[in-house]
Structure 1
Amino acid sequence: MSVSIKQKNGNRYGTFDIMGIKGSFPNQVITSTNLNHAKFVHSSKFDFKTQFLEIVERHPKQIISDKDYRNRRQKIISEIIEQNSDKLCTLVISGAKSMSIQKDKNIALIEFQKECGFKLIKAFFKTSRNALENFKEYITLIPKECKIVPVIDENLNHSIFKLLYSNSLGRGLEIIGFFGREPKATNEDNKLNLQYISSREGDQIIRLVSSIKKSFGGVVSSLVYHQYGFDTYSFITRFGNPNIPVIELKALHQFHFKPLTYSSGLTCVITKNNLHTVANIYLKQNRSSVPISIHDIRKLNEEFATLHEKYSKEELEQIIKEKN
């Protein structure tokens, strides 16, 4: 089987072999923004310890409405996919949580992904109306050499959520996506949907949650989603000035983000020098947060690789409770 799920110490983990690409999870996903970070520090082939890559489309509405923009982005994304043939590449669209994605937009986005050369093609489900019928139609649009990745909104009507999930499982799909909504006890559908995912411990499918905030009260949010039963996680891509005063920088220490100082003793995963010192060097180049971002993902993936060996589910729950 191409996805193998196991349990140890109450933790869900596993391995996969999808389209000839092998790896393990839980796993932090990198984005094309992270690739740009690595390129900036002259380490374009840096090993983030993950086989998952989400390529960010910052202006998805223009993909649909602007032919010239669409063609430019198609060329850029096709090149990224070609240069990362060792990874499972998927599209992530900025603002997906707030964007209206009806059937016509889904079809346009599916066609765009085909043009770019994605082998894993996402279809987004935010509304209940005709969801299953649309799912079946989208599948007919997927080339034989490609696979569909349904992306389900965690706030969707609970009955429809379960229907789409079980249908994906029944079709033998290997990856299912989610929007990355925050857990909300006050939202009944959100609560029931996350409880449902948590209860399906042995399902042989990889659950990819995209665009999550980086932390909950100082605890890395990936760990929180792991406890809900998700398998791979990407941080939301923030645009703007990557230069932050070093006194305000925080870096990952095990599962907590803490203020970065020289005495933190953290090591840059690229240069092997003190991370605080490296951040100061890049401050002069207006990129102080770049080595921090690379460090955080690499170290998180190293922690995830042995998570089921080192911690019980109860111990991880206690770490989550230790918020700032």
Structure 2
Amino acid sequence: MDCWQEINGNIIIELPVDFNIKANLGYLERNKNECMFEVENEIITRVIVIGETRTLVKIHVNKFNQIIVQFLKDSRPNNQSERAEVAQYIREWFDLDRDLTPFYKMAKADPLLKGPVEEFFGLRVIGVPDLFEALCWGVLGQQINLAFAYRLKRQFVEKFGDSINWNGRNYWVFPTYEQIAQLTPADLADIKMTLKKSEYIIGIAQLMASGELSKEKLLRMDSLKEAEKSLIKIRGIGPWTANYVLMRCLRFTSAYPIDDVGLHNAIKHITGSAKKPAKEELLKLSVRWEGWQAYATFYLWRVLY
């Protein structure tokens, strides 16, 4: 969808009427250890990589409900198709091409979702458009709390990633799979993750470097189930990680990380139950939320995180 224009060298992106930047910034600012972007005074600063081109951008929303993208440090691409890709990256990051009308209609009538959609109305499932980054984040986050996962990600990015320095600060670029594919677990030893996680991440990088695994291949698959099966075959990726990636990178709105602790805790919190929901209850909810399980999960996460 070509909903952008250029004025005075800035990219202007039209936003859906039901987009609320405050709701999205609330999610983006949830952990001070986030290293892939910075939020200050409702302005996001981050690097966006398009092929070999690295652009450093400031992103904010104006009073006309438009995203303004300003290029910093002479990083504006000369090539118009690359600027179009920057606009598309932001559209994908905030899932802007999705019509949420059916989701809101369903959620407002749902006893579990009614409160969260009222409180966080305008929130989108914020994506991780790069497959390698999404898979690494999924693996890093396995069986540990969110704060520790953020610390591990920062250590990994600062050790192996590149950065653009601007105004005395480093803005990081996630390590590439080509680079990580060359490493051994010993190279990751001073990052406080398990040996197994180091092996998984290097294995994923090698699959991507060989071309066996790619975002394009997964998106060409016929169904969510087929993409999920393909991901679960990879060492270190179970159903939770697969659905996390299907939801945040591949954009399947019916992806459902049914084993997610955050999802269980949010349901417990809303229902006032003493114990976590049983599998049967979670499956019933999945039927109730048919087609929108990823959005339902994302809104429930916001209740606690």
* Higher RCO (Cα < 8 Å, 6 or more apart): 1
TM-score, L = length of structure 1: 0.26
TM-score after normalising by structure 2: 0.27
Tell me which protein shows more helix as a share of its residues: 2
> Counting strand residues as a fraction of each chain, which structure ranks higher?
1
